[in-house]
């Protein structure tokens, strides 16, 4: 394979011993230059001795050799904003103009079974604290020669989010992010016998993004309390208190052991009896397992009991729908209908200490619910039509804090509201199709099917619970329910912040 070690001069910097392979397209080489300079490939102009390198190496091949210097031009700064255009009516708008006017997120082009990544990106983008942290992110080490591409992947995700926020086009091609992800993780670069990229698991991709961001995004400083290691752990980390007690009658005197665990998501295990998400989650919070007893010096049954001692602001729930079939050698899928709620309460799964801490904010939610019920009753007595709510974004409403003062990124109520779903359609994890569904505002949702984005309603989201070959919820992202501060409630600005508690089982 023709591989050269070349130098790349950009502005006042010269990057030496950069690997260049002519067996790979120039786009991949430019993706590596992006990781070195933070100049996106579409802004790069690369030349070797006066010859511009475009879509193939052919014109530049005679001039390529070890030690040759390539000249690169391009800026890492944001491009200037397009000039303000005159008013255009909806019927005269292009597809990209409609995306901006109707406030629809751009779609992401599928680059060879990359729907697992596209759906993950769309759901991750619903977390505002994550978006803000990425905007502030500055890579410390963009050198990819050591094989560590986490900084480059973080920068690429930052650039992709910025492109999506600009809404200049209906479809964005995430070429750099896909290439970097495949370079960093061999499993995402796997191909079948025909040379096509194979389908990958969206939850695996979600967790790999989480681990990368853990490395690069710093935690929010806390004045007191436990210091969290990184921003991802602050926003998504669930702390558990686990107790193990031997059930064998011959070891009843063996003291119970208690230890701590932390996870970035909780699992909903599905059996024939599982009808609701809460049931599947609760099944693993109290279970019988087998392990070696130091008292009996043999394996024995233990009761493992888990309680949550710290809730994050964002709760990620994985529906464990895939299991390995030994005979068919495939990760088969459980299609069973498991109802998930639009609003979710974690209170009963928490330790008594955490429950006491959650009560003050929960009482405020209850008071707001009572106020609304009294208002509705009064309006009914007067035979007056209900007040029309103004549709606003959450930024328009001043809300109560959703986190404890000494624990940034936590939940101080235990109440959550669904804001993103990744679904899978198909019969195994190595085939089928992933789609992202994200809440726009209130009951307005968007279906992000790769490059096609379409409006949806809450009613359509509730149909994703399973039971057939339709899209089935695989990963659910819950965000903090928001409570408007008193004073805003009477201004009509409550729509986006209206988050009263509902049942944990079912979706009424």
Residues 5-21 have pLDDT tens digits of 999 999 888 999 988 88
Place of tokens 């989650």: 281
Residue 113 has pLDDT above 70, yes or no: yes
Place of tokens 């697992």: 116
Pick the range with the lowest mean pLDDT from 26-35, 304-313, 439-448.
26-35
Is 181 strand, coil or helix? helix
- Please confirm, yes or no, whether 115 is among the known catalytic residues: yes
Residue 489 has pLDDT above 80, yes or no: no
- Helix spans in 217-328 (H): 231-236, 277-282
Share of the chain above pLDDT 90, in %: 58
Give the CA dihedral 312, 475, 400, 353, nearest 10 degrees. -40
Residue 162 or residue 36, greater confidence: 162
pLDDT value, residue 498: 42
Rounded distance between C-alpha atoms, residue 42 and residue 32, angstroms: 13
What is the Rg, in whole angstroms, of the alpha carbon atoms belonging to the chain?
26
Question: Of 115, 246, 350, 448, which is the active-site residue?
Answer: 115
Asked if 190 contacts 197 with a C-beta cutoff of 8 angstroms, the reply is yes
pLDDT value, residue 256: 93
- Phi–psi pair at 159, nearest 5 degrees: -65, -40
DSSP state of 312: B
- pLDDT band with cut points at 50, 70 and 90 for residue 500: very low
Residue 494 has pLDDT above 50, yes or no: no
Rounded distance between C-alpha atoms, residue 411 and residue 466, angstroms: 29
- pLDDT band with cut points at 50, 70 and 90 for residue 97: low
Structure tokens at 257: 């052991």
Pick the range with the lowest mean pLDDT from 49-63, 114-128, 266-280, 376-390.
376-390
Average pLDDT score, the chain: 85
Residue 492 has pLDDT above 70, yes or no: no
pLDDT value, residue 37: 85
- pLDDT band with cut points at 50, 70 and 90 for residue 177: very high
Residue 344 has pLDDT above 50, yes or no: yes
**Which residues on adjacent β-strands are paired with residue 18?**
6
189: exposed, middle or buried (Cβ count in 10 Å: 0-12, 13-18, 19+): middle
Angle at 162 between CA 449 and CA 205, to 5 degrees: 50
Buried b (16+ CB within 10 A) or exposed e, 144-170: beeeebbbbbbbbbbbbbebbeebbbb
Question: Of 205, 350, 433, 448, which is the active-site residue?
Answer: 433
pLDDT value, residue 41: 86
pLDDT value, residue 226: 63
Residue 144 has pLDDT above 70, yes or no: no
Residue 210 or residue 396, greater confidence: 210
pLDDT value, residue 487: 58
Residue 508 has pLDDT above 60, yes or no: no
Residue 266 has pLDDT above 90, yes or no: yes
Rounded distance between C-alpha atoms, residue 125 and residue 192, angstroms: 31
Residue 98 has pLDDT above 70, yes or no: no
In angstroms, the Cα distances linking 23 to 3, 26, 46, 180, 232 are 8, 9, 18, 17, 38
- Please confirm, yes or no, whether 433 is among the known catalytic residues: yes
pLDDT value, residue 478: 98
In 3D space, the residue among 186, 230, 188 whose CA is nearest the CA of residue 206 turns out to be: 188
pLDDT value, residue 102: 55
pLDDT value, residue 229: 83
For the segment 149-167, the average pLDDT, to the nearest whole number, is 93
Residue 222 or residue 386, greater confidence: 222
Rounded distance between C-alpha atoms, residue 213 and residue 127, angstroms: 13
- pLDDT band with cut points at 50, 70 and 90 for residue 199: very high
- pLDDT band with cut points at 50, 70 and 90 for residue 42: confident
Rounded distance between C-alpha atoms, residue 463 and residue 277, angstroms: 14
pLDDT value, residue 488: 44
pLDDT value, residue 455: 94
Residue 147 has pLDDT above 50, yes or no: yes
Residue 496 has pLDDT above 60, yes or no: no
Residue 351 has pLDDT above 70, yes or no: yes
pLDDT value, residue 375: 85
Pick the range with the lowest mean pLDDT from 26-35, 81-90, 241-250, 307-316.
81-90
Full set of structural domains in the chain with CATH = 3-73 (3.10.20.90), 104-216 (3.90.70.10), 235-313 (no CATH), 330-497 (3.90.70.10)
Residue 50 or residue 461, greater confidence: 461
């Amino acid at each position: 394979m023709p591989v050269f070690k070349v130098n790349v001069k950009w502005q006042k910097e010269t990057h030496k011993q950069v690997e260049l392979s002519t067996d790979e397209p120039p786009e991949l080489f430019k993706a590596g230059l992006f990781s070195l300079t933070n100049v996106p490939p579409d802004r790069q102009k690369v030349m070797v001795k006066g010859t511009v390198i475009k879509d193939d190496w052919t014109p530049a091949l005679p001039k390529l050799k070890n030690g040759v210097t390539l000249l690169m031009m391009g800026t890492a700064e944001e491009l200037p904003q397009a000039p303000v255009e005159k008013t255009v009516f909806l019927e005269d708008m292009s597809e990209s103009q409609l995306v901006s006017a109707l406030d629809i997120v751009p779609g992401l082009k599928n680059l060879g079974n990359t729907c697992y990544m596209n759906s993950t990106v769309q759901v991750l983008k619903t977390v505002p604290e994550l978006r803000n942290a990425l905007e502030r992110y500055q890579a410390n080490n963009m050198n990819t020669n050591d094989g560590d591409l986490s900084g480059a992947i973080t920068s690429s995700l930052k650039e992709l989010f910025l492109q999506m926020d600009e809404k200049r086009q209906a479809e964005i091609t995430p070429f750099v992010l896909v290439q970097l992800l495949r370079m960093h993780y061999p499993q995402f670069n796997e191909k079948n016998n025909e040379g096509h990229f194979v389908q990958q698991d969206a939850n695996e991709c979600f967790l790999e993004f989480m681990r990368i961001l853990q490395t690069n995004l710093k935690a929010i400083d806390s004045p007191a309390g436990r210091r969290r290691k990184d921003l991802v752990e602050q926003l998504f980390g669930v702390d558990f208190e686990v107790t193990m007690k031997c059930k064998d009658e011959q070891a009843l005197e063996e003291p119970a052991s208690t230890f701590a665990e932390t996870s970035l998501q909780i699992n909903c295990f599905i059996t024939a009896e599982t009808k609701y998400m809460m049931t599947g989650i609760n099944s693993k919070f109290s279970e019988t397992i087998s392990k070696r007893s130091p008292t009996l010096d043999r394996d024995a049954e233990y009761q493992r009991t888990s309680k949550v001692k710290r809730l994050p602001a964002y709760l990620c729930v994985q529906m464990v729908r895939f299991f390995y079939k030994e005979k068919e050698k495939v990760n088969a899928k459980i299609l069973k209908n498991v109802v998930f709620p639009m609003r979710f309460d974690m209170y009963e799964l928490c330790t008594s200490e955490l429950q006491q801490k959650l009560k003050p904010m929960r009482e405020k939610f209850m008071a707001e619910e009572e106020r609304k019920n009294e208002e509705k009753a009064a309006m009914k007595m007067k035979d007056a039509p209900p007040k029309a709510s103004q549709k606003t974004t959450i930024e328009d409403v001043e809300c109560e804090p959703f986190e404890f003062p000494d624990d940034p990124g936590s939940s101080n109520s235990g109440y959550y509201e669904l804001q993103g779903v990744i679904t899978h359609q198909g019969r195994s994890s190595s085939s089928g199709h992933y789609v992202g569904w994200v809440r726009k505002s209130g009951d307005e949702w968007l279906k992000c099917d790769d490059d096609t984005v379409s409006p949806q309603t809450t009613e359509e989201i509730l149909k994703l619970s399973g039971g057939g070959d339709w899209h089935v919820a695989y990963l659910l992202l819950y965000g903090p329910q928001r409570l408007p501060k008193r004073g805003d409630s009477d201004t009509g600005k409550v729509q986006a912040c209206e988050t009263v508690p509902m049942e944990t089982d079912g979706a009424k």
